[in-house]
């Protein structure tokens, strides 16, 4: 995936809109080096106009040796002979103007093509997408959303999906799905430097509908022993094995949740129609903006959408400043299905909530080219017609 480096939020936003989904942003080349040191899937680095030319040249020279499959593209407000000469000598693959959208798009396509060519006939290494389900307040249906969304994306095995329960103290994914895991993430504590495919596979629990689950610890005291390093290594290993990794997080910005958000391609945010929750979600969105997390790739789920409480979807969109992606209707059947251990998308695929979960899954997987079955296609279209209308380190320490 591409990475954008610049200190100007507007520059980052404008470049992000032109680049493929999953773009990450950092504020300087030092943070970029730390980011690239443990990620091999970044095929392009865009250095914005606020990155000094000397720093840009030094980074080009370093990556030319340490990461030859990563193309460095300089984005400048003005380009003259001196800039081109210095860029060429340093090893930059492209120099484009900030205002030239066509050149920016073409440069990322060339970078991706080169990346695949250099990786050999097998192409680029497999890298799945991370979808984080987050709510700053408990009791709003976060786990129900994560479980049903994961099953909808999996589409009965059409996609390889892993659901990670990162609510490490009070995770309910296993019990919601009537699973009794023999192993949990707790068993990887202390083994951060030895996490590999075999270890990860040994910790997973399989659901009958071709979904794999990495369960939370059985006791809450393990939470403080699960380090952000462990979370990072675990998620990156899972990305190599799965098409999608869906994360159910704790309802706060703890260390593990921050790390998960830092790895996120798409962020699904849950809210309900009550003022305290809306206030908390508003603050959470401002925090995500500050951390440059999933900009342009956030999806708002309005759970228990019921106009009778006096606040409608239009008002929610006005308060939060973003569109409602999926309004999940209030229904006792959703809670009943959860209590029976058979989530609503399985218990009643034609239920309005199931239709909305599949519509959300369709939006999150639109880029992968794999279609849902014909029945789901119809449901998703109907659901669409029903809709109303410096990174985490700045706060970690």
Provide the CATH number for the domain around residue 242: 3.40.50.300
Q: What is the pLDDT of residue 280?
A: 95
Q: Which segments in the chain show pLDDT lower than 50?
A: 121, 123, 374-397
Q: Tell whether 179 and 300 lie within a shared domain.
A: yes
Q: Tell whether 110 and 152 lie within a shared domain.
A: no
Q: Measure CA of the first residue to CA of the last residue in the chain; give whole Å.
A: 27
Q: What is the pLDDT of residue 32?
A: 84
Domain count, the chain: 2
The domain boundary, picked from 70, 86, 119, lies at 119
Sheet holding 24-26, edge to edge: 24-26, 2-5, 44-47, 71-76, 94-97
Q: 124 in a domain, yes or no?
A: no
- Rounded Cα distance, 328 and 317, in Å: 15
Q: What is the pLDDT of residue 147?
A: 96
Q: 107 in a domain, yes or no?
A: yes
Q: Tell whether 291 and 392 lie within a shared domain.
A: yes
Q: Tell whether 65 and 181 lie within a shared domain.
A: no
Q: Tell whether 61 and 135 lie within a shared domain.
A: no
**DSSP letters for 195-233:** --HHHHHHH-EEETTTEEEEPPPSSGGGGGGS-HHHHHH
CATH number of the domain that residue 8 is part of: 3.40.50.2300
Q: What is the pLDDT of residue 375?
A: 47
Q: Tell whether 111 and 150 lie within a shared domain.
A: no
> Is residue 364 classed exposed, middle or buried when 0-12, 13-18 and 19+ CB atoms within 10 A define those classes?
buried
pTM here? 0.66
- Containing H/E element for 324? strand 324-329
Q: What is the pLDDT of residue 271?
A: 94
Q: Tell whether 177 and 325 lie within a shared domain.
A: yes
**Angle separating helix axes 275-290 and 313-320, nearest 10 degrees:** 40
Q: Tell whether 153 and 112 lie within a shared domain.
A: no
The domain boundary, picked from 57, 85, 119, lies at 119
Q: 89 in a domain, yes or no?
A: yes
Alpha helices in the chain (DSSP H): 9-18, 29-36, 53-66, 81-90, 101-119, 142-154, 173-176, 197-203, 228-241, 255-262, 275-290, 313-320, 332-339, 344-347, 352-364, 374-386, 393-396
Q: Tell whether 100 and 170 lie within a shared domain.
A: no
Residue 43 lies in domain: 2-119
Q: What is the pLDDT of residue 22?
A: 57
């Amino acid at each position: 995936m591409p990475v954008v480096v610049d200190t100007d939020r507007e520059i980052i936003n404008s470049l992000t809109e032109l680049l493929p989904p999953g773009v990450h942003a950092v504020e300087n080349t030092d943070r970029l080096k730390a980011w690239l040191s443990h990620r091999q899937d970044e095929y392009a680095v865009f250095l914005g106009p606020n990155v000094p030319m000397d720093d840009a040249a030094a980074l080009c020279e370093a990556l030319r040796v340490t990461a030859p499959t990563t193309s460095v593209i300089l984005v400048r407000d003005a380009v003259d002979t001196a800039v081109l000469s210095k860029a060429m000598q340093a090893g930059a693959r492209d120099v484009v103007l900030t205002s030239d959208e066509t050149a920016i798009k073409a440069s990322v396509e060339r970078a991706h093509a080169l990346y695949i060519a250099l990786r050999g006939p097998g192409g680029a290494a497999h890298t799945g997408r991370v979808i984080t389900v987050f709510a700053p307040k408990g009791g709003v249906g976060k786990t129900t959303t994560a479980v049903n969304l994961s099953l909808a994306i999996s589409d009965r095995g059409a996609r390889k999906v892993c659901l990670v329960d990162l609510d490490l103290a009070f995770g309910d994914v296993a019990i919601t799905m009537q699973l009794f895991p023999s192993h949990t993430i707790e068993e990887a504590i202390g083994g951060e430097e030895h996490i590999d495919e075999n270890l990860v596979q040994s910790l997973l629990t399989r659901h009958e509908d071709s979904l794999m689950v990495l369960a939370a610890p059985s006791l809450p005291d393990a939470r403080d022993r699960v380090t952000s390093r462990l979370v990072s290594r675990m998620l990156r290993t899972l990305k190599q094995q799965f098409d999608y990794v869906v994360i159910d997080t704790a309802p706060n910005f703890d260390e593990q949740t921050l790390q998960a958000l830092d790895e996120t391609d798409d962020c699904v945010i849950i809210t309900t129609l009550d003022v305290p929750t809306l206030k908390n979600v508003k603050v959470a969105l401002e925090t995500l903006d500050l951390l440059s997390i999933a900009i342009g790739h956030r999806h708002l789920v309005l759970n228990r959408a019921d106009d009778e409480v006096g606040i409608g979807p239009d008002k929610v969109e006005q308060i939060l400043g973003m569109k409602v992606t999926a309004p999940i209707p209030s229904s006792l059947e959703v809670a009943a299905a959860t209590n029976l251990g058979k989530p609503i998308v399985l218990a009643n695929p034609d239920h309005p909530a199931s239709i909305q979960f599949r519509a959300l899954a369709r939006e999150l997987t639109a880029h992968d080219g794999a279609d849902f079955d014909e029945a789901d296609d119809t449901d998703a279209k109907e659901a669409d017609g029903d809709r109303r209308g410096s990174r985490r380190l700045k706060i970690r320490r």
